[in-house]
């Protein structure tokens, strides 16, 4: 309480507010946020010319050269070693991960992976399923090009992968699949037949990752995704029907939170800050409504896997969330576990909360936050996280760092190229023990220092 009383001497009002907040927190029932990581091991890789799907990845090979991608043993084995490293990180640190693989990676497993000493002599899929069952759930993922969900589930099963009943990504407002083979997510209800394995029928229970069909472009992309931390039983494939809970339907839709907010190009502080901000908003009781089931999935995007320090950054995200996990405000859970909590603890109460009403919009920045190169921070004082907002007159490299009162840097939050326009950056503060911080935002054309009080 030493630091606290020092703060009280300086800021009586702040302390009064803090006391009120603590009282209110203990008086109400806690609404936790259920969190997991997820990955799509995509069908596409750079042998198709889709070089943007993979970064930090070996010397680039010429597009369309053969063999390449997972069909190349060297590439496959590199990806396999990252997969192993990430599973070790998630498992040893007590987090949860839904690993969702498409066909091509599995074909690589079939061709090249006979198991080795690092995986107890098992292929990586079998090892994930048998030696990581406390941490990793394996879901099928398919783009329905020449193999569908049933084929991927069959392949996972034949490799020893014990696939879940989760559809790892689907089109919510149109068909998926091609030509005469097209079907909608509603067909998952009665089970779909494989295209490569027509004798196999796969009947999943949970829909996750609602990608929207873009009518203008004539394809499913991420423009009209359903962004929600909620869960319900959707009625049909129409715009309103999907967003209507129908308790008579068998399939459950589980939201993934806000996928664009946790893109893997961000720092651990930014990713954890996003999750923490949402967990905090669930304690405030204003919006989103408390007492419902909330879910958030953090993207461990395959295209960044081979970037240096990737597993270490994942470990840091888990460490930053740890204080919240210890308080029960964040709970690690796989997709299937989240749905079972919704069924038992929340008695299937539907939660159609749209992420568009996001927490950042509820935070007030000062009036000049729209002025070019003016840096605004909120809330201040902060407790678990702070948002930094600024507008760049032109694109430039921006560095954000935190300093103690002696001017010594205690954390480097960001050092990256940003485009012109407004930017909002979240910084998680839970791991810092300091009550006073200086926050510096600097670019080639400006440098601003702001003082920040942290309530401890
Ligand atoms: Zn995909």
How far is C-alpha 436 from the chain's CA centre?
30
Distance 220 CA to ligand 1 centre (A): 11
CA distance 325 to 8: 28
Distance 320 CA to ligand 1 centre (A): 28
Distance 69 CA to ligand 1 centre (A): 15
Q: How far apart are the first and last CA of the chain?
A: 8
Distance 106 CA to ligand 1 centre (A): 14
Distance 200 CA to ligand 1 centre (A): 22
Distance 44 CA to ligand 1 centre (A): 8
Distance 42 CA to ligand 1 centre (A): 5
Distance 143 CA to ligand 1 centre (A): 6
- pLDDT > 70? residue 245: yes
Distance 171 CA to ligand 1 centre (A): 11
Query: pLDDT tens for residues 165-202?
Result: 999 999 999 998 877 788 999 999 999 999 999 999 99
- pLDDT > 50? residue 61: no
pLDDT value for 285? 60
Distance 39 CA to ligand 1 centre (A): 9
Distance 41 CA to ligand 1 centre (A): 7
Distance 259 CA to ligand 1 centre (A): 13
CA distance 221 to 317: 28
What are the Cα distances from residue 427, in Å, to 260, 351, 379? 17, 28, 11
Which residues neighbour 261 within 8 Å (Cβ) at sequence distance 6 or greater? 274, 358
What does DSSP say about strands 231-232 and 252-254: parallel, antiparallel, or unpaired? antiparallel
pLDDT value for 320? 94
Distance 302 CA to ligand 1 centre (A): 10
Distance 419 CA to ligand 1 centre (A): 27
Distance 151 CA to ligand 1 centre (A): 15
* In contact, 384 and 428? CB cutoff 8 Å: yes
pLDDT value for 382? 78
CA distance 452 to 213: 44
Distance 78 CA to ligand 1 centre (A): 20
Distance 101 CA to ligand 1 centre (A): 8
Distance 168 CA to ligand 1 centre (A): 8
Question: How big is the chain, counted in residues?
Answer: 456
What are the Cα distances from residue 410, in Å, to 237, 297, 400, 434? 50, 29, 11, 10
- pLDDT > 70? residue 51: no
Q: What is the 3-state secondary structure (H, E, C) of the chain?
A: CHHHHHHHHHCHHHHHHHHHHHHHHHHCCCCCEEEEEEEEECCCCHHHCCHHHCCCCCCCCCCCCCCCHHHCHHHHHHHHHHHHHHHHHHHHCCCCEEEEECHHHHHHHHHHCCCCHHHCCCCHHHHHHHHCCCCEEEEECCCCCCCCHHHHHHHHHHCCCCCCCEEEEEECCCCECCHHHCECHHHHCCCEECCCCCCCEECCCEEEEEEEEECCCCEEECCCCCCCCCEECECCCCHHHHCCECCCCCCEEECCCCHHHHCCCCCHHHHHHHHHHHHHHHHHCCCCCCCCCEEEEEECCHHHCCCCCHHHHHHHHHHHHHHHHHCCCEEECCHHHHHHHHHHCCCCCCECCCCCCCHHHHCCCCHHHHCECCEEEECCCECCEEEEEEEECCCEEEEEEEECCCCCEEEEEEEEEECCEEEEEEEECCCCCCCEEEEEEECCCCEEEEEEEECC
Distance 169 CA to ligand 1 centre (A): 7
Distance 40 CA to ligand 1 centre (A): 6
Distance 260 CA to ligand 1 centre (A): 15
Distance 201 CA to ligand 1 centre (A): 21
- pLDDT > 70? residue 62: no
- pLDDT > 70? residue 27: no
Banded model confidence at residue 374, pLDDT cuts 50, 70, 90: confident
Distance 345 CA to ligand 1 centre (A): 31
Distance 100 CA to ligand 1 centre (A): 9
- Higher local confidence (pLDDT), 61 or 368: 368
* In contact, 213 and 226? CB cutoff 8 Å: no
- Higher local confidence (pLDDT), 333 or 214: 333
Distance 234 CA to ligand 1 centre (A): 22
Express as a percent the part of the chain with pLDDT over 70: 81
- pLDDT > 50? residue 362: no
CA distance 148 to 160: 19
Distance 435 CA to ligand 1 centre (A): 43
Give whichever of 35-39, 64-68, 175-179 has the largest mean pLDDT: 35-39
Q: For all residues of the chain together, what is the average pLDDT?
A: 82
Distance 142 CA to ligand 1 centre (A): 6
Banded model confidence at residue 44, pLDDT cuts 50, 70, 90: low
Banded model confidence at residue 269, pLDDT cuts 50, 70, 90: confident
CA distance 438 to 411: 11
Distance 141 CA to ligand 1 centre (A): 7
Give me the residues near ligand 1 (ion), CB cutoff below 5 Å: 40, 42
Across 346-355, average pLDDT? 88
pLDDT value for 260? 57
Distance 51 CA to ligand 1 centre (A): 15
Six token digits for residue 14: 């702040």
pLDDT value for 156? 98
- 34-38, 76-80, 305-309: range with lowest mean pLDDT: 305-309
């Amino acid at each position: 309480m030493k630091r606290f009383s020092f703060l009280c001497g300086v800021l009586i009002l702040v302390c009064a507010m803090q006391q009120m907040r603590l009282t209110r927190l203990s008086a109400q029932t806690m609404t936790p946020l259920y969190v997991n990581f997820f990955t799509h091991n995509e069908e596409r890789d750079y042998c198709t010319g889709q070089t943007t799907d993979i970064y930090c990845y070996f010397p680039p090979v010429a597009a369309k050269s053969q063999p390449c991608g997972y069909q190349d043993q060297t590439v496959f084995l590199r990806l396999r070693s990252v997969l192993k490293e990430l599973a070790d990180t998630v498992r040893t640190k007590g987090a949860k991960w839904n690993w969702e693989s498409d066909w091509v990676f599995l074909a690589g497993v079939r061709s090249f992976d006979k198991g080795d000493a690092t995986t107890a002599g098992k292929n990586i899929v079998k090892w994930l399923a048998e030696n990581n069952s406390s941490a990793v759930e394996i879901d099928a993922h398919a783009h329905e090009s020449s193999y569908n969900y049933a084929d991927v589930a069959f392949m996972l099963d034949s490799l020893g992968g014990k696939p879940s009943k989760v559809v790892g990504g689907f089109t919510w407002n149109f068909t998926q699949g091609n030509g005469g083979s097209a079907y909608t997510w509603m067909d998952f209800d009665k089970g779909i037949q494989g295209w490569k394995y027509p004798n196999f029928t796969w009947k999943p229970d949970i829909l996750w990752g609602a990608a929207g069909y873009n009518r203008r472009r004539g394809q499913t992309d991420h423009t009209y995704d359903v962004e929600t931390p909620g869960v319900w039983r959707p009625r049909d494939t129409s715009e309103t029907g999907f967003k209507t809970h129908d308790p008579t339907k068998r399939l459950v839709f589980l939201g993934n939170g806000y996928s664009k907010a946790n893109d893997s190009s961000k720092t651990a502080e930014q990713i954890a800050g996003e999750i923490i901000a949402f967990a905090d908003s669930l304690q405030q009781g204003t919006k989103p409504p408390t007492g419902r089931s909330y879910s958030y999935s953090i993207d461990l995007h395959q295209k960044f896997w081979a970037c240096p320090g990737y597993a270490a950054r994942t470990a840091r995200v888990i460490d930053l969330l740890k204080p919240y996990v210890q308080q029960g405000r964040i709970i690690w859970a796989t997709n299937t576990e989240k749905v079972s909590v919704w069924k038992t603890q929340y008695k299937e109460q539907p939660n159609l909360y749209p992420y568009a009403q996001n927490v950042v919009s509820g935070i007030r920045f000062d009036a000049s936050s729209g002025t070019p190169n003016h840096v605004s921070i909120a809330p201040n004082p902060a407790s678990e996280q702070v948002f930094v907002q600024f507008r760049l007159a032109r694109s430039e490299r921006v560095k954000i760092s935190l300093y103690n009162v002696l001017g010594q840097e205690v954390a480097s939050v960001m050092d990256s190229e940003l485009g012109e326009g407004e930017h909002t950056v979240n910084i998680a503060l839970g791991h810092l023990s300091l009550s006073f911080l200086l926050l510096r935002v600097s670019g080639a054309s400006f440098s601003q220092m702001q003082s920040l009080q942290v309530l401890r």
